[in-house]
Amino acid sequence: MTEFRRDCQTHFVHDDIIRKVRETIPAEEDLYVVADFFKMFGDATRLKILQALAISEMCVCDLSELLHISQSAMSHQLKTLRQVNLVKFRKEGKVVFYSLKDEHVNQIIETGIQHVTERE
Amino acid sequence: MTEFRRDCQTHFVHDDIIRKVRETIPAEEDLYVVADFFKMFGDATRLKILQALAISEMCVCDLSELLHISQSAMSHQLKTLRQVNLVKFRKEGKVVFYSLKDEHVNQIIETGIQHVTERE
DNA sequence: TTAATATATGAACATATGCTCATATATAGG
DNA sequence: CCTATATATGAGCATATGTTCATATATTAA
């Protein structure tokens, strides 16, 4: 039928299952945005940044000191975190303080840690 | 001090904050594992796979039919999902049925969708 | 055994990602 | 204005990632 896939032949595609799933699955349009959101948690450096900010607001310099990465790399990471609305900032003179903009962060990371430690 | 970063000079590094965060932040060793776990949610294709499996167990062929991707690509993706313990499978003749191995999946994806839809 | 089918897997390849390096911008002080 | 400092940003680069293509493996049937 489809040009993509349609050769589970003898077995015959489980149309009932596919239909059910198609009806239930959420809108595809936003999935790329959701994926981009989760990408933020898919990097150890950003995970540490988020964990740090969950404890206290911090300036860029302190963050790079804390994680032992360059100021430039830190600024780049903070930029990507800003783009997905995970962090906000305030300026105090030359210093820029970042903090979490989303209360879900801790919950999400905790679930991830839980998953990883649960299993063998 | 450190060779990495130590030039927030006039401002002077907020040692108290850094110390507090260092004490509170979770073990770094597992962070890469946690990051790899979240990487799974950072791809739209895998998100869809996980959402589908959250509704019903499905065989490889049905999954590739559903998501319009090749059988090979699907097998590769399922392999990575297996490696982080997100899915399990059972064989029934030639057909392999995959299903979720972790109850957190729905909760995590829901939180992500919530974050994305919450903001402007 | 041979043929057919469902799935798995390795290699190659194009794109995405995260860092560095150099430099730009912003703010404060002299 | 000039200098110093904190942060931001663009370009380049090396590595990671996701797909395709070809082929291997497993299972069933004839």
- Residues of chain A with C-beta less than 8 angstroms from the C-beta of B95: 8, 11
Whether CB of B93 is under 7 Å from strand D: the answer is yes
- Strand D closer than 7 A to residue A60 Cβ: yes
Mean pLDDT of B78-92: 96
Nearest to B61 by CA among B36, B37, B93: B93
- Pairwise CB contact (< 8 Å): B62 & A117: no
Hey, what's the torsion of the CAs at B48, B52, B55, B59, to 10 degrees?
-160
ipTM of the complex as predicted:
0.87
Distance B18 CA to C14 C1' (A): 42
Per-block mean pLDDT, blocks of 10 residues, chain A (120 long): 46 73 74 95 97 94 93 98 96 95 89 82
Residues of B in contact with A14 (CB under 8 A): 58-59, 62
Maximal C-alpha separation, chain A: 71
Q: Which nucleotides of D are covered by protein (CB under 7 A)?
A: 5-11, 17-23, 26-28
Taking 70 as the threshold, does the pLDDT of residue B120 lie above it? no
Q: Which residues of A touch B41 (CB under 8 A)?
A: 34-35, 38, 41-42
Dihedral pair phi/psi, residue B30, rounded to 5°: -80, -5
Give the global pTM. 0.87
Q: How confident is the model at residue B1 (pLDDT cuts 50, 70, 90)?
A: very low
The alpha carbon of residue A91 is apart from the nearest alpha carbon of chain B, in Å, by 13
Q: How large is the angle between the packed helices A104-118 and B104-118, nearest 10 degrees?
A: 160
What's residue B74's pLDDT?
97
What's the rounded Cα separation, in Å, for the pair B115 and A97?
A: 22
In order of start, what are the domains of chain A with their CATH numbers? Answer: 28-117 (1.10.10.10)
